[in-house]
């Protein structure tokens, strides 16, 4: 049966403007995405404070915050718990938890309180088949213009791979900066994909005069892109 948590709200899609909201967080009030204009932002949700998978995720993400900052990307967390629960949980993480060599971990990025579930609903973070009272593990990559560029969802039981989130960020920035696409499992330094030939002439030329490209077929050509050039472009000086 439908209740207020399961009613149909369209989920934002890749290419949409990130839905706007104001929220109370562990770092004061934020106005999203306006406060992040000109920077990349990752808005991510977790099911609940004081839970093991979420604790492992927060410790891991917080330990990588500087790395994301170097790529000009701000982190913003959310759960449907209240502010005082958030504060108590983050204090517990810093003061008591040692996990995989991480200890004394301070979560400096804002964690949104969303007791009303207003933000979670706007972003489709509640997936009733999984839980109608807890947000799933959603990740929204928002670009400097406030456009959603990637969305990734994980269920409650599955902790995210934060190196993969970092790879996604660097790949998005690389695609923008160099007008290329990135193949499966791409990492900086690997070959990138040049836009597919849009005419028979270009397709023929690609196959006959490959120049600096490697063409597996007319529609699938790659070229080298130097790792240092990528990192110089996508990371802050
Ligand atoms: C966890 O973070 O451990 C968790 C949270 C909600 C449901 C299942 C696991």
> What pLDDT digit, counting tens, does each position of 104-161 carry?
999 999 999 999 999 999 999 999 999 989 999 999 999 999 999 999 999 999 999 9
Q: What is the CATH number of the domain that holds 223?
A: 3.30.1020.10
- Among 160, 195, 213, residue at a domain's last position: 160
Distance 181 CA to ligand 1 centre (A): 35
On whether both 80 and 196 belong to a single domain, the answer is no
Ligand 1 geometric centre to CA of 161 (Å): 16
* One domain, residues 90 and 124: yes
* CATH code of residue 30: 3.40.30.10
Give the position, in ligand 1's atom list, of the atom nearest the Cα of 134.
6
Query: Is 44 part of any domain?
Result: yes
The answer on 145 and 29 residing in a single domain is: yes
Q: Domain of residue 75: give its range.
A: 21-160
211 and 122 in one domain?
A: no
Residues 194 and 156 occupy one common structural domain: no
Q: Is residue 170 part of a domain?
A: no
Candidate list 54, 73, 215, 221, residue with the active-site label: 54
Q: Are 225 and 149 in a shared domain?
A: no
| Same domain, residue pair 111 and 185 | no
Task: Tell me: do 190 and 87 sit in the same domain.
Answer: no
Which residue has its alpha carbon closest to ligand 1 atom 7?
A: 156
Residue 112 belongs to a domain: yes
- Residue 220 belongs to some domain of the structure: yes
pLDDT at 7 exceeding the cut of 70: no
Give CA–CA dist 16/190, Å, rounded.
30
What gap in Å lies between CA 38 and CA 145, rounded to an integer? 6
**Domain count within the chain:** 2
58 and 107 part of one domain: yes
Q: Which of 106, 130, 160 is the last residue of a domain?
A: 160
Tokens of 107: 């979560």
Q: Which of 46, 50, 54 for mutating ligand 1's site (highest number of atoms within 8 Å of CB)?
A: 54
- pLDDT tens for residues 193-226? 999 888 998 888 888 887 789 999 999 999 999 9
Q: Indicate whether 69 and 142 sit together in one domain.
A: yes
CA–centroid distance, 183 to ligand 1, in Å, is 33
Looking at the fold, whether 92 and 197 belong to one and the same domain comes out as no
Ligand 1: lining residues by beta carbon, under 6 Å: 47-48, 51-54, 134, 156-157
Residue 177: pLDDT over 70: yes
* Mean pLDDT in residue range 49-67: 98
CA of 46 to the centre of ligand 1 (A): 8
* Confidence at residue 1, expressed as pLDDT on a 0 to 100 scale: 45
Mutation test residue for ligand 1: of 47, 93, 158, the one with most atoms within 8 Å of CB: 47
Assess whether 54 carries a catalytic annotation: yes
Same domain, 183 and 154: no
């Amino acid at each position: 049966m439908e209740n207020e948590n399961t009613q149909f709200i369209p989920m934002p899609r890749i290419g949409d403007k990130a839905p706007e909201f104001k929220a109370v967080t562990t770092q004061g009030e934020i106005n999203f995405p306006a406060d992040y204009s000109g920077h990349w932002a990752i808005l991510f949700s977790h099911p609940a404070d004081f839970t093991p998978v979420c604790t492992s995720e927060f410790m891991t993400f917080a330990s990588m915050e500087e790395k994301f900052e170097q790529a000009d990307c701000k982190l913003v967390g959310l759960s449907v718990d209240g502010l005082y629960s958030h504060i108590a949980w983050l204090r517990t993480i810093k003061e008591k938890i040692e996990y995989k060599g991480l200890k004394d971990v301070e979560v400096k990025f804002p964690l949104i309180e969303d007791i009303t579930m207003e933000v979670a609903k706007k972003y489709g973070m509640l997936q009733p088949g999984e839980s109608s009272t807890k947000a799933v593990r959603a990740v929204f990559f928002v670009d400097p213009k406030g456009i959603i560029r990637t969305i990734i969802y994980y269920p409650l039981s599955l902790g995210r791979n934060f190196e993969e989130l970092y790879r996604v960020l660097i790949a998005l920035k690389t695609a923008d900066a160099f007008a290329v696409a990135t193949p499966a499992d791409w990492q900086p330094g690997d070959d990138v994909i040049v836009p597919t030939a849009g005419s028979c002439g270009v397709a023929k030329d690609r196959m006959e005069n490959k120049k600096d490209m490697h063409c597996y077929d007319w529609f699938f050509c790659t070229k080298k892109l130097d790792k240092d050039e990528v990192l110089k472009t996508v990371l802050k000086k």
